[in-house]
Amino acid sequence: MKLDLIKTSIISAVMLVVTLLIHAVPALILITAPFLLIPGVYLCYKDKHGFYVMSGIVLIISLIFLNLFALQVMIGVLLSSYLIGLLLQSRASKEYMLFALTVLLSFYALISIIFMQLMELLPTTKEWFADVKDSYMALVEAELGKENISQENINLFFTALDQMQLQVPGLIVLLIFLLSLISLLIAMPILRKFKVAAPNFRPLYFWRVPKSVLYLYVIAVLIKLLLTPEDVILLGIVTNLQYVLEWIIFIQGISLISFFIKVKRTPTIINVLMFIFAFIMAPITQLLGMLDLIINVKARIKL
């Protein structure tokens, strides 16, 4: 395949402009993030050699001249673009792209955070929450003397804060899932306008997570049981992997509930209550997702 110089030059210029903007104004990532897949995926789909050239240009310039944040963003964008470009060429379903993109970006984001914390470029979650605890204690010290607040209330606050700290990786994965979903919803219709064979999402009740996700989850849980608190890096990676896979299995559980609602044609109020219960009782929903992956519960639900 010959290198398409025109496409490669235009998209390289676009990606460099975006990178420079993120370097100058990091907050722009909040606006540009859902659109960043489009140029890279298009070039990867149309001209893979051009994509390699464009990636090399962007990464070299980012590495030499720009800050670490802009470099990390562009590495994530290029990896994501390459993944989606390959999946488009292999005619993968849109929901499979969503799962794959969520896993890739979750791993990349969580490992990047761990790396930056080890390099002392980013505070740990304990340090983030330590500031909150210090501020809270400064506020309540005066009230303790007046007996306006009890030690029990303080302990409850600290317990809630500790639980919130444990949920940070899961929240990151949720935000990445939402970003992946929005990015695909925006990118696919635009790519179709440029003659890229981009699929549509199937209804939620038809979604099916690859069974390999369940195997990876079991392996991650077993490895975590064998690790000690001293294995900081490996424990952090395995724990974050577990969070990612739990969210994907949760989606399979939601898909199963959606399928049950579709087949049984339950009343709207019941449907709403079932979905509310599914999110409140996430571990049960994850268990339903596991059962569906193991024994294909959907095939056993009859009209």
Digits of tens for pLDDT over the chain (303 positions)? 577 788 899 999 999 999 999 989 888 888 888 899 999 999 999 989 999 999 999 999 989 888 888 888 899 999 999 999 999 999 888 888 888 898 899 888 878 877 777 777 777 666 666 666 666 666 666 555 555 566 666 667 667 666 666 667 777 778 888 889 899 999 999 999 988 888 887 887 788 888 888 888 888 888 888 877 666 667 767 777 788 888 889 889 999 999 888 888 888 898 889 888 888 888 899 999 999 888 888 887 765
Contact 169, 240 (CB under 8 A): yes
Residue 191, CA distances (Å) to 199, 202, 262 in order = 10, 18, 31
The token pair that represents 76 in the structure block: 């994530």
Residue 238, CA distances (Å) to 15, 57, 77, 243, 251 in order = 33, 33, 24, 9, 20
Q: For residues 29 and 179, give the distance between their C-alpha atoms in angstroms, rounded to a whole number.
A: 12
Domain-by-domain residue ranges, the chain? 1-200, 203-303
Q: Answer yes or no: pTM beyond 0.85.
A: no
Count the helices and strands in the chain (H runs, E runs).
13, 0
Q: For residues 38 and 22, give the distance between their C-alpha atoms in angstroms, rounded to a whole number.
A: 17
- Amino acid in position 177: F
Dihedral-angle region of residue 150 (phi above 0 means left; psi in -120 to 50 means alpha; beta otherwise): beta
